[in-house]
Amino acid sequence: MRLGTAVIALIFVFFLGLGQAWAAPPEVKAEAAVLMEAETGQILYAKNPEERMYPASTTKILTALVVLQHARLNDQIVASPEAVGTEGSSIWLKEGEKLSVKDALYALLLNSANDVAVALAQKVSGSIPAFAQLMNETARACGATSSHFTNPHGLPDPEHYTTALDLARITRVALGNRLFREIVATKTYTFHRPTLPEPFVLVNHNKLLWRYEGAIGVKTGYTTAAGQCLVAAAQRNGRELIAVILKSEGTEVWNDAVKLLDYGFNAFKPVELFKKGETLGQAEIPGGNQPLLLIAGESFIYYVPTEERAFSLPRWQVHLNPLRLPVRAGERVGEVLVTTGKGEGMKIPVVAGNAISPLPFWQRTSGKVTLGVLGLAAGAIYASRRRRKRRF
């Protein structure tokens, strides 16, 4: 027996008392910006997060992700006339020159090589339009639903655009790839090109790798239409933040990124919204012999302003998958979707807390799913935890 998708909504606001809010978020020059907590996808800062913008060479984050999903690192790209003729930043490929996909990815992400971007796209898909289709499919899979890409390098095109929020989502997924993380954190890279007598040295355009403690990437970008763009990521004290800066001005792009990263690391504290193994609610399964206990498959940490004594917790909903009886204890049965109105779609798995067997045929009844929720209990649990000393 299958159970259709169901939703349990747990929505509550929790106040610790009146107090002064932390100092206002930093002012940035950028026209659009987002600061994201990488582990959960929580948005800590947003300025015009869903405004359509030209991404310039930050496009290459998505290009690299597509290549890593569809090409082998030891394969070779071949520089076509189209690739060699691409305007903008390049490593000056010669027609017919060959590079390994791995070396080409370093040239793409460190030196922002447009000629290499075209050659990689042609290697993967045979043409730019076909590769752009893969880019758009991959972007949607990352949760980037307000973007559209037409090329692998980011040169201006009215139909080539993204948002600060979408770019943060794409970057979060890309940073989940080990080699991508390794490349964007690399300051210099040396490899052999058959057309040159000496080893070829790439220097990463991202100055934060030298200037900001904990910086691990990610990508710079600039065109006249896009302005100064930057996606920056940094790690400190077990946390990882992603800052997206679109259409900043001159050297202000670096200041914008530093302000946002400092704000994220210094102005927030963690709160455990619920912990792994905690009961979130229960669902009556038609034809089942008992209610299904819904258990958090992972702990969930939410960040609140450090100096703010009064705050509201986010909304969260338990989404159940279509289920087939019997259900095994520990089986993944859905997910918790946490939202705050800032565009996040933070998710954790939900597992079955008990086994559910089908009733004998003569005891089965049809009807709607009955959902029992423990929202008040969850609030009480949280309140009791606030009274205990906690360490993060």
- Please tell me the total number of residues recorded for the chain in this structure: 392
Give CA–CA dist 46/311, Å, rounded. 18
Same fold, 2-18+272-387 and 38-266: no
Residue 17 in this model has a pLDDT that exceeds 90: no
Residue of 60, 123, 247, 259 with catalytic role: 60
How far apart are the C-alpha atoms of 1 and 330, rounded to whole Å?
Answer: 19
Residue 365 confidence (pLDDT): 53
Does 381 score more than 80 pLDDT? no
What was the pLDDT predicted at 310?
61
219 is in an annotated binding site: yes
Mean pLDDT taken over the chain: 87
Query: Which CATH class name applies to 38-266?
Result: alpha beta
The string over 259-282, giving b where at least 16 C-beta atoms fall within 10 Å of a residue's C-beta and e elsewhere, is bbbbbbbebbeebebbeeebebbb
Please tell me which residue, 322 or 391, carries the higher pLDDT value. 322
For residue 311, the model assigns a pLDDT of 66
Q: Where are the domains of the chain?
A: 2-18+272-387, 38-266
Largest CA distance in the chain: 83
Side-chain half-sphere exposure of 34, counting CA atoms within 13 A:
28
Helix-helix angle 59-70:164-174, to 10 degrees? 30
Average pLDDT in the 216-237 region?
97
**What are the φ and ψ backbone dihedral angles of 104, each rounded to 5 degrees?**
-65, -35
Task: Write the pLDDT tens digit of every residue in 263-307.
Answer: 999 999 998 888 999 999 898 888 889 999 999 999 999 998 887
**CA 269 from chain center: how many Å?**
20
The answer to whether residue 207 is catalytic is no
Residue 375 confidence class, pLDDT cut points 50, 70, 90: very low
Q: Higher-confidence residue: 12 or 66?
A: 66
Inform me whether the pLDDT recorded for 88 exceeds 90: yes
Q: How far apart are CA 14 and CA 378, in angstroms?
A: 11
Asked if 297 contacts 348 with a C-beta cutoff of 8 angstroms, the reply is yes
More confident residue, 13 or 287: 287
Mean pLDDT, rounded, for 239-249: 97
Find the range with the poorest average confidence among 44-58, 91-105, 378-392. 378-392
Active site residue 384: no
Q: Is the pLDDT of residue 370 over 50?
A: no
Q: Which amino acid is at 46?
A: A
pLDDT of residue 309: 63
Structural fold of domain 2-18+272-387: Peptidoglycan synthesis regulatory factor (PBP3), Domain 2 (2.60.410)
Averaged over 339-351, what is the pLDDT?
80
Say if residues 311 and 16 touch (Cβ distance below 8 Å).
yes
Q: Write down the pTM of the prediction.
A: 0.84
Q: What is the Cα–Cα distance from 304 to 317, expressed in whole angstroms?
A: 20
Give the number of other Cβ atoms within 10 Å of residue 45's Cβ: 21
Owner of token pair 């933040």: 241
Q: If we measure between CA atoms, which residue out of 232, 303, 315 comes closest to residue 264? A: 303
Q: Is 254 helix (H, G, I), strand (E, B) or coil?
A: helix
Q: What is the pLDDT of residue 364?
A: 62
Estimate to the nearest angstrom the gap between the alpha carbon of 80 and the chain centroid: 33
Choice among 90, 112, 125, 147 that is catalytic:
112
The CB-side HSE value for 291 (13 A sphere, CA atoms) comes to 14
Q: Which residue has the higher pLDDT, 247 or 308?
A: 247
- Nearest CA-CA partner of 327 in 352, 291, 303, 304: 352
Task: Give the residue, 362 or 203, on which the prediction is more confident.
Answer: 203
pLDDT band for 22, please (50, 70, 90 cuts): very low
Q: Using one digit for the tens of pLDDT, what is the confidence trace for 296-332?
A: 999 999 998 887 666 677 888 888 999 889 999 999 9
Tell me: pLDDT of 361 over 50.
Answer: yes
Q: Which of 72-81, 150-159, 312-321 has the lowest mean pLDDT?
A: 312-321
Q: How confident is the model at residue 57 (pLDDT cuts 50, 70, 90)?
A: very high
Determine which one of 47, 57, 147, 247 is catalytic: 57
Is 57 known to be catalytic?
yes
With cut-offs at 50, 70 and 90, classify the pLDDT of residue 23.
low
Other Cβ atoms less than 10 A from the Cβ of 133: the count is: 14
Residue 256 has pLDDT above 60, yes or no: yes
Using the predicted structure, report yes or no on whether residue 378 has a pLDDT greater than 60: no
Mean pLDDT of 216-226: 97
Q: What is the pLDDT of residue 25?
A: 87
CA nearest 353: which of 300, 277, 287, 298?
Answer: 277
| pLDDT higher at 387 or 147 | 147
